[in-house]
C-alpha cells in the first residue's frame, strides 16, 4: 500500500509517496523525471546497498552516478563543487534530473546543486534514513555548512517528489535510526499532543521497527511537515517552529565538530528548549520532564557534553539563521502542540539552561 501526501505550494506542489519497494517502481519514479538524463547522487555507504537497484529502475534513461563521501563533515562547498564538476564532465543539460539517494547530507547537497546548476534543474528526493524521510527531504531547504555554522549557504528549492521507501530503513544502523526518532518526537512537541502521547505508548514497537507503528509515525510526521511548509514555504513565520531544539542542537554540532549525529544533537537541543520554556514560566515541569523522558526512552542523549561551557554554547548560538538584528530567537513551547518563535525570553532563563548540564528539566 502506498500513501500519498501533498506539499501544497501552488504550481510548485509535489507529492510525498510513502510505501514499500518504491525504489523498484519504474513507472512511478520515471514520471517525475524531466528529460532523458538522470544523475543519481549518493554516498559510499548507500551506493553499496541501493545504487544498482535505482540504476535499473531508471534503465530507460541516460543514467550516471556521483558517489560522494559519507558524513556530515563532507557537507561543504568543496563536496558541492565535486558534484558540479561531475555534472559538467558528464554534460548534463538544463533538462537533467538529479536524484538524491541517501540521508540528509546527500539530500541537502543535491538540492543545492539542483537549485544552482544552470540556474536550476529538476531533482527528486529518495531519502534512505528516517531523519531525512520525516524531515530534511520535505520542504525544499537545501544547503551546505560553513565552518562557523550549519546550513549557512543554501537556497529554498523544492523537489519534484519525495519517494519514501520504508524498506530502506531495514538496513539503517540503529544509531542513525534513533537519531531520526528525535525528529519524529519533535512533531509531537510542536504540533500534535495526541501524537506525542501515541509515541509514549509505542516506544517498544518503534524500537523494534514494527511496520505498522513505523508507517504511522512516518505518515504523521510528513503530514505535519507538509502542512507547515505549505503555510510558510520560506520560513517567514510559522515554519520556524520546525526548528524546535535546533538553535541549541546546531551549536552542539558545530562545537563538537559533528561528533554527534544531527538527531542526537537535536534531542539534546529539544530538552534544552523545554528547560528554557520551563524556566521562562511557559511550560509546566511535568511536561518538560515528559519530553526529556520520552527521548531518553528511545535511547537518545538528553544532556549536552560536559566540556561545553555556557559561553561557548552562547557564542555558537549567535551564528544561527534565526538571529535577527543581533537577537537570538528561540523556538519555545507553552505545552505539547503549542510551539512559538520568540526573541522575548528571559536571558537569565537561557543562561540557567546553558549552565544546567544534567539537571535539565529536573528541578
- Same structural domain, 157 and 236: no
The three-point CA angle 348-349-354 to 5° equals 95
How far apart (Å, rounded) are the C-alpha atoms in residues 117 and 34? 15
Same domain, 161 and 238: no
Same structural domain for residues 244 and 290?
yes
Give per-residue pLDDT as tens, 43-86: 999 999 999 999 999 999 999 999 999 999 999 999 999 999 99
Q: What is the CATH number of the domain that holds 345?
A: 1.20.1090.10
Q: What are the beta bridge partners of residue 42?
A: 67
- Same domain flag for 44 and 190: no
- Residue matched to cell numbers 560553513: 146
**Domain with 226 in it:** 178-359
pLDDT tens per residue across span 153-200: 999 999 999 999 999 999 999 999 999 999 999 999 999 999 999 999
Based on the fold, state whether residues 225 and 165 are members of the same structural domain. no
90 vs 349: CA distance, rounded Å: 54
Q: Tell me: do 136 and 30 sit in the same domain.
A: yes
Classified as helix, coil or strand, 66 is strand
Domain final position from 114, 148, 171: 171
pLDDT at 320 over 60: no
Domain match, 131 and 193 both: no
Total number of domains constituting the chain: 2
Distances in Å between the Cα of 229 and the Cα atoms of 173, 222, 294, 345 are 29, 10, 26, 25
Across 105-113, average pLDDT: 98
What is the reported pLDDT for 319?
64
Q: Cα separations (Å) of 24 from 34, 35, 47?
A: 19, 20, 15
Q: What are phi and psi of 263, to 5 degrees?
A: -65, -35
CA dihedral 224, 29, 90, 71 (to 10 degrees): 40
Residues 277 and 318 in one domain: yes
State residue 325's pLDDT score: 45
Q: Are residues 102 and 225 in the same domain?
A: no
- pLDDT digit string (tens) for 210-257? 999 999 999 999 999 999 999 989 888 899 999 999 999 999 999 998
The secondary structure of residue 309, as a DSSP letter, is -
Q: Which of these ranges, 291-300, 305-314, 331-340, has the smallest mean pLDDT?
A: 305-314
Q: Judge if 334 and 287 occupy the same domain.
A: yes
User: Rounded to an integer, what distance in angstroms lies between the CA atom of residue 109 and that of residue 313?
Assistant: 26
pLDDT for the residue numbered 214: 95
pLDDT at 10: 94
Residue 136 belongs to a domain with what CATH number?
A: 3.40.50.1970
Q: Are residues 99 and 190 in the same domain?
A: no
Positions annotated as catalytic residues are 119, 141, 183, 225, 235, 239, 243, 246, 250, 262
End position of a domain, from candidates 155, 171, 187: 171
- Residue 199's Cβ-side half-sphere holds a number of Cα atoms within 13 Å equal to 27
Which of 171, 192, 225 represents a domain boundary (last residue)?
Answer: 171
Question: Where do the H-state alpha helices sit in the chain?
Answer: 26-30, 44-46, 52-57, 77-89, 104-116, 130-131, 174-191, 193-201, 203-207, 211-231, 246-255, 262-279, 285-297, 310-317, 347-356
Q: Does the structure show a pLDDT above 60 at 322?
A: no
Whether residues 150 and 200 share a domain: the answer is: no
pLDDT of residue 159: 98
End-to-end Cα, the chain, rounded Å:
47
Amino acid at each position: 500500500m502506498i500513501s500519498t501526501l501533498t506539499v501544497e505550494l501552488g504550481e510548485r506542489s509535489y507529492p510525498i509517496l510513502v510505501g514499500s519497494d518504491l525504489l523498484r517502481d519504474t513507472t512511478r519514479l520515471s514520471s517525475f523525471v524531466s528529460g532523458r538524463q538522470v544523475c543519481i547522487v549518493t554516498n559510499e555507504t548507500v551506493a553499496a546497498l541501493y545504487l544498482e537497484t535505482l540504476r535499473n529502475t531508471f534503465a530507460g534513461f541516460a543514467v550516471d552516478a556521483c558517489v560522494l563521501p559519507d558524513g556530515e563533515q563532507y557537507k561543504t562547498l568543496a563536496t558541492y563543487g565535486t558534484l558540479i564538476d561531475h555534472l559538467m564532465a558528464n554534460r548534463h543539460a538544463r533538462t537533467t534530473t538529479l536524484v538524491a539517494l541517501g540521508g540528509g547530507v546527500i539530500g541537502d547537497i543535491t538540492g543545492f546543486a539542483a537549485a544552482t546548476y544552470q540556474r536550476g534543474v529538476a531533482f527528486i528526493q529518495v531519502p534512505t534514513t528516517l531523519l531525512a524521510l520525516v524531515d530534511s527531504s520535505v520542504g525544499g531547504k537545501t544547503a551546505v555548512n560553513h565552518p562557523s555554522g550549519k546550513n549557512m549557504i543554501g537556497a529554498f528549492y523544492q523537489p519534484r517528489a519525495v519517494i519514501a521507501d520504508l524498506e530502506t530503513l531495514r538496513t539503517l544502523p540503529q544509531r542513525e535510526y534513533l537519531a531520526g526518532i528525535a525528529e519524529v518526537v519533535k512533531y509531537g512537541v510542536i504540533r500534535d499532543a495526541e501524537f506525542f502521547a501515541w509515541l509514549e505508548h509505542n516506544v517498544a514497537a518503534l524500537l523494534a521497527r514494527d511496520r505498522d507503528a513505523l508507517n504511522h509515525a512516518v505518515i504523521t510526521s510528513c503530514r505535519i511537515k507538509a502542512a507547515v511548509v505549505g503555510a510558510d514555504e520560506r520560513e517567514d513565520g510559522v515554519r520556524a517552529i520546525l526548528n524546535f531544539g535546533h538553535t541549541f542542537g546546531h551549536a552542539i554540532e558545530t562545537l563538537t565538530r559533528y561528533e554527534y549525529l544531527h538527531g542526537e544533537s537535536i534531542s539534546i537541543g529539544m530538552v534544552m528548549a523545554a528547560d528554557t520554556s520551563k524556566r521562562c514560566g511557559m511550560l509546566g515541569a511535568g511536561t518538560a520532564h515528559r519530553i526529556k523522558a520520552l527521548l531518553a526512552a528511545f535511547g537518545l542523549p538528553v544532556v549536552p557534553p560536559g566540556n561545553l561551557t555556557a559561553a561557548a554554547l552562547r557564542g555558537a548560538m549567535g551564528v544561527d539563521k534565526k538571529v535577527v538584528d543581533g537577537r537570538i530567537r528561540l523556538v519555545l513551547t507553552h505545552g505539547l502542540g503549542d510551539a512559538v518563535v520568540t526573541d522575548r525570553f528571559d536571558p537569565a532563563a537561557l543562561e540557567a539552561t546553558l549552565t544546567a548540564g544534567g539537571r535539565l528539566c529536573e528541578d
